[in-house]
Structure 1
Amino acid sequence: MRPITHTSAKQLIPVANKPVLFYGLEAIREAGIREVGIIVGSTAPEIERAVGDGSQFGLDVTYLPQDAPRGLAHAVLIARDYLGDDDFVMYLGDNFVVGGINGAVERFRRERPHAQLMLTRVKDPHAFGVAEMGQDGQVLGVEEKPQYPKSDLALVGVYVFSPAVHEAIAELKPSWRNELEITEAIQWLIDQGRPVKSTIITGFWKDTGNLADMLDMNRFVLERIDSEVSGSVSADTEIIGRVVVGPGAVISGSRIVGPVVVGAGSVVRNSRLGPFTSIDCDCTVVDSDIEQSIVLRGAFIDGVGRIEMSMIGREARVVPGPRAPKTYRFVLGDHSEVRVGV
C-alpha cells in the first residue's frame, strides 16, 4: 500500500468511505464483545483520533503501545496484563470478514478448545499461514508460508484463544524474521495436546495488503449499499443505480453510475463517476472520469480525462499537464501532486 501508508495507517484507509478498521470493530461488537485493546505503534495518534474511547462503536477501548512490529504473538504478549485470565479474540485490524465472527466465537464458547481458528480456501497457500486438518474441524498443525502446503486452508486474521496461549507464547523464540509468530504458539498448543479447532468460512475475506485487495473490498461493499441522497444533485445530473451522496455534497452536470459513494462536502462537476467508485469527504472532481477507484479525503482532481483502478491519497492533486494519455492508474501518497498531459 505504499506510498499511502508512509503517511497514514493502513487500517484507516476507507472502503466505501469507512476505514477498514471500523468494519472489524463492528464485527467484534456484534459478537457480544465490549472490551477492546488496540495494539498501536507509530500511527497511534491517528488511530486514537479515529476510534476515540470506542463509544461510537459501543465499545470500551484501551490502547496498548508496541515499540516496533515484533510479530502477532508479541502483540499478545504486550496485552498480557490487559487480558488477564480471560478468553479473548485477536482480530487483525487490516482484515475484512463478511458475515462477521459470531460463528467462531459461539463455537469457541460451546466447545471450549484452547484456540479457535478461522480458515478459508485460497488459490496460493504458499503466501499464507496454512492449517493441516483432521476430522471434526480439529487442527493437526499450522505452518507459516510453507514451501509445501499440506492444505489450501489459510488462516484468516481472526483467532479466539483461551489463556493457555500465554503459556505457549512464553515458550517462543524469535523466528527467522525476528518475530514471535502466532502460528508457532498455536503449534505449541497442538504439540502439548491442547485442542485447537477451526471454522471454515466460505464468504468474502480480504487481508487488505495491496491496492488490488482494497479495490476488491471496495467493490464488494459498494455492491451492497442502498441509495441515499442527502446532498444537492442538479437537474442536469444523471444518476443510474445505487448511489450515496453525503450531506453538503454538490453534484452538477455529471453522470453517476452506481454503485458509487460521494462523501459529505465533496463537489463533482461535469464528470462521470463509477461504477465501484468511492469519493471521500471534501473532495473536488471536475471534468474527469473515474471508475473502480478510491479517492481519499480532500483530494482535488480537475480535467484529467479517465482514471481507473486507482487510489488517490488525502489532499492529493491531479491536474492537467501536456500530452495526456486517455487512461491513468495511480497510487498517490497523501499531499502529493501529479500533473498529467491533456
Structure 2
Amino acid sequence: MINMATDVVGIVPAAGVGSRLSPLPCSKELFPVGFEAHPEHGTPHPKAVSQYLLEHMQRSGARQVFVILRKGKWDIPNYYGDGSQLGLQLAYLIMQKPYGSPFSVDQAYSFVRQQRVVFGFPDILIEPENAFERLLQRQEQTGADVVLGCFKVPYPHKWDMVELQETGAVQAILPKPANSNLTLGWAIACWGPRFTEFMHTYLQKVEEHLIARGGELSMGEVVQAAINARLLVQSEVFDNGTCLDVGTPEDLQAAIRRLS
C-alpha cells in the first residue's frame, strides 16, 4: 500500500540537448513562452517554459524538486537558483548515464526512494492547474503504484499512447505508434516507492543491453515493464484538459501564440 503521509517531491528531467529546436541561445527549458507579472514592479515579463511545470508541482504540495541536468546546462540553476521565488527548494543533479529519461530520473533514487513523486517534462505545457492534485487523489483512491495523466492528443505518433481498461487501469502503452486508433497520450505522472524501487532495479538489468544495442529507453517503456510485472498503473483522464509539447518548432509557435 502507498503511504499517503509521505512527502511529495518533484522530479524534472532537464538533461536533453534540445536537438529538435537547435540552435537556441539558451537551454530549451528556459525558452520564454508567455508572460507573467514581474514580482517587483508588476509589469509583464517573459516566463520560461519550464516554470509552468514547476508551478504545477508546487500547487500539488511538492516543496522540493530535483532537476536533472547534463553538464554544461548551467544556465538553468543560474536562472532558478534555489527556487525560493517559486516557493520551492530546488536541487540539481547531474545526469551520469545518457540512455534516456528513466536513467536521468533514477539519479534522484537515493533522495526520493521513500517518497511520493510527481513527474513531468519541462517542455510540455499542461492544463488544468490542478492536474497533479488530481493524480495524487486518484492514487489515494485506488492505491495505485503509478498514475498517468492522460490527455486527448491529435497526433499519436508524437506521444506515448495509452490503452485503458474500464476501471481506468492502464492496460498497455504504445510508444509513438505510426498509426493508432487510440486517442489518449500520457504527459505527467505520480508514483510511490514501489515503482521507484522497480525502476531502479529494472534499469540495472537493462543497462548492459542498451549499451550493446545503442539507443535510449523511454519512461513509457519502463511503465510498461512495471505493468508486465503486475504493478498497478492507473490513469487520470483530463477530458477537458490540454497538453502541448513545445519541443518542436511548430508546437513552440503554437504555444507562443496561445500564451502571448
Distance across 1 between alignment mates of 2:160 and 2:143: 23
Map 1:29-40 to 2 at 5 A.
29-40=58-69
Q: Within the alignment, does 1:108 sit opposite 2:139 as a pair?
A: yes
The structure with higher relative contact order (CA 8 Å, sep 6+) is 2
Q: Within the alignment, does 1:183 sit opposite 2:220 as a pair?
A: yes
Query: What is the aligned partner in structure 2 of residue 218 from structure 1?
Result: 256
Task: Assess if the C-alpha contact under 8 Å between 1:165 and 1:185 holds in 2.
Answer: no
Give, as a single letter, the amino acid of the residue that structure 1 aligns with 2:254. D
Aligned partner (choices 111, 122, 128) of residue 93 of structure 1: 122
Q: Deviations over 1:174-208 (max 9, x none)?
A: 55663232222211221222211111223231111
When residues 200 and 35 of structure 1 are mapped into structure 2, their CA distance, relative to the original with a 3 A threshold, is same
How many angstroms does 1:28 deviate by? 0.7
Q: Within the alignment, does 1:48 sit opposite 2:113 as a pair?
A: no
Give, as a single letter, the amino acid of the residue that structure 2 aligns with 1:163. P
So what's the TM-score if we normalise by structure 2? 0.78
Task: Assess if the C-alpha contact under 8 Å between 2:125 and 2:244 holds in 1.
Answer: yes
Distance across 2 between alignment mates of 1:145 and 1:214: 19
Query: What is the aligned partner in structure 1 of residue 153 from structure 2?
Result: 122
Task: Assess if the C-alpha contact under 8 Å between 1:8 and 1:43 holds in 2.
Answer: no
Task: Assess if the C-alpha contact under 8 Å between 2:145 and 2:231 holds in 1.
Answer: yes
How many angstroms does 1:64 deviate by? 0.8
Give secondary structure in 1 for the equivalent of 2:119: strand
Pairwise CA RMSD of aligned residues?
2.0
Give secondary structure in 1 for the equivalent of 2:172: strand
In the alignment, structure 1 segments of 5+ residues that lack a partner are 223-342
> What percentage of aligned pairs have identical amino acids?
25
When residues 191 and 2 of structure 1 are mapped into structure 2, their CA distance, relative to the original with a 3 A threshold, is closer
Distance across 2 between alignment mates of 1:135 and 1:96: 27
Give, as a single letter, the amino acid of the residue that structure 2 aligns with 1:112. G
Query: What is the aligned partner in structure 1 of residue 11 from structure 2?
Result: none
Q: Within the alignment, does 1:141 sit opposite 2:141 as a pair?
A: no
Give aligned pairs, total.
Answer: 220
Map 1:108-257 to 2 at 5 A.
108-149=139-180, 151-156=182-187, 158-169=188-199, 170-172=201-203, 173=206, 178-201=215-238, 202-222=240-260
Task: Assess if the C-alpha contact under 8 Å between 1:38 and 1:64 holds in 2.
Answer: yes
Query: What is the aligned partner in structure 1 of residue 41 from structure 2?
Result: none
When residues 150 and 72 of structure 1 are mapped into structure 2, their CA distance, relative to the original with a 3 A threshold, is farther
Task: Assess if the C-alpha contact under 8 Å between 1:131 and 1:139 holds in 2.
Answer: yes
Distance across 1 between alignment mates of 2:115 and 2:186: 23
Task: Assess if the C-alpha contact under 8 Å between 2:116 and 2:191 holds in 1.
Answer: yes
Task: Assess if the C-alpha contact under 8 Å between 1:130 and 1:154 holds in 2.
Answer: yes
How many angstroms does 1:63 deviate by? 0.4
Q: Within the alignment, does 1:13 sit opposite 2:31 as a pair?
A: yes
Give, as a single letter, the amino acid of the residue that structure 2 aligns with 1:12. L
Runs of 4 or more, structure 1, over 6 Å off, are none
How many angstroms does 1:24 deviate by? 0.9
Distance across 1 between alignment mates of 2:153 and 2:126: 14
Aligned partner (choices 36, 50, 54) of residue 25 of structure 1: 54
Distance across 1 between alignment mates of 2:251 and 2:72: 22
Give, as a single letter, the amino acid of the residue that structure 2 aligns with 1:3. S
